[in-house]
């Protein structure tokens, strides 16, 4: 399967709400496979349809599965999650601050507050209804990717954005959104 180009903020697709998926045929299956190859090639923990110029409500998430991650994330390490038409149906009151990056915003990091745990409803790649609960880092990845489906980039909600080029020089959010 081909690795797809990951678009940058100058492409308006990243700022548009993505369309609901209704057709679960071969085209969608090929897109999901291509998205998986793209995410793995880019060493990302998640990827959303709009990031590969497909304005469709599809997200993938996969935490690393190295030894440290297996200890830290337990059963979530290395497990692939594909969710079509995801919707957050429950959010914890507890928030957690964390550092995020994005494949569509290379060279930037930001501090973002996210819900500590969430529950998602959606469909699997075959169109069957599904629900899943996530906490900690996996919950953060899901929230980040679902934001992409609504045209939101993490820099829009970050408390601080910077370039991790050694001196941790702070970047402005407007600088970050230009890519």
Query: Is residue 74 situated within a structural domain?
Result: yes
Return the pLDDT at 63: 78
Query: Is residue 99 situated within a structural domain?
Result: yes
Query: Is residue 108 situated within a structural domain?
Result: yes
User: Which CATH number covers residue 137?
Assistant: 3.90.45.10
Average pLDDT for 72-89: 82
Query: Is residue 1 situated within a structural domain?
Result: no
The three-point CA angle 109-50-60 to 5° equals 75
Placement of tokens 């697709």 in the chain: 13
- pLDDT band at residue 175 using 50, 70 and 90 as cut-offs: very low
Return the pLDDT at 173: 41
**Selected catalytic residue, list 145, 168, 169, 175:** 145
Burial track 131-155 (b if 16+ CB lie within 10 A, e otherwise): eeebbbbbbbbbbbbbbbbebbbbb
Whether the pTM exceeds 0.85: the reply is yes
Query: Is residue 118 situated within a structural domain?
Result: yes
Return the pLDDT at 176: 37
Name 132's bridge partners.
120
Return the pLDDT at 178: 28
Return the pLDDT at 71: 52
Q: In this model, does residue 166 exceed pLDDT 70?
A: no
Query: Is residue 48 situated within a structural domain?
Result: yes
Least confident range from 84-88, 131-135, 167-171: namely 167-171
The residues, ordered by sequence, that sit 6+ positions from 65 with a Cβ below 8 Å of its Cβ are 77, 78
Query: How much of the chain exceeds pLDDT 70, in percent?
Result: 83
Average pLDDT for 91-101: 97
Query: Is residue 49 situated within a structural domain?
Result: yes
Q: In this model, does residue 19 exceed pLDDT 80?
A: yes
145 is catalytic: yes
Query: Is residue 61 situated within a structural domain?
Result: yes
Domain span at 46: 12-177
Number of structural domains (the chain) is 1
- pLDDT band at residue 165 using 50, 70 and 90 as cut-offs: confident
Average pLDDT for 156-167: 87
- How many Å separate Cα 23 from the centre of its chain? 22
Return the pLDDT at 27: 98
Condensed to tens digits (0 to 9), the pLDDT of residues 55-80 reads 999 999 997 665 554 455 556 656 79
């Amino acid at each position: 399967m081909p690795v797809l180009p990951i678009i940058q903020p100058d492409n308006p697709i990243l700022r548009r709400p993505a369309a609901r998926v209704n057709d679960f045929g071969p085209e969608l299956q090929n897109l999901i496979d291509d998205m998986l190859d793209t995410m793995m090639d880019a060493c990302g923990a998640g990827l959303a349809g709009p990031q590969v110029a497909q304005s469709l409500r599809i997200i993938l998430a996969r935490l690393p599965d190295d030894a440290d991650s297996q200890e830290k994330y337990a059963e979530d390490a290395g497990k692939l999650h594909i969710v079509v038409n995801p919707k957050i149906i429950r959010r914890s009151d507890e928030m957690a601050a964390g550092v995020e990056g994005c494949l569509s915003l290379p060279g930037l990091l930001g501090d973002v507050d996210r819900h500590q745990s969430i529950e998602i409803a959606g469909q699997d790649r075959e169109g069957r209804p599904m629900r899943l609960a996530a906490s900690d880092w996996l919950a953060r990845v899901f929230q980040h990717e679902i934001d992409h489906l609504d045209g939101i980039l993490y820099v829009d909600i970050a408390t601080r954005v910077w370039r991790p080029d050694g001196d941790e020089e702070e970047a402005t959010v407007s600088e970050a959104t230009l890519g």
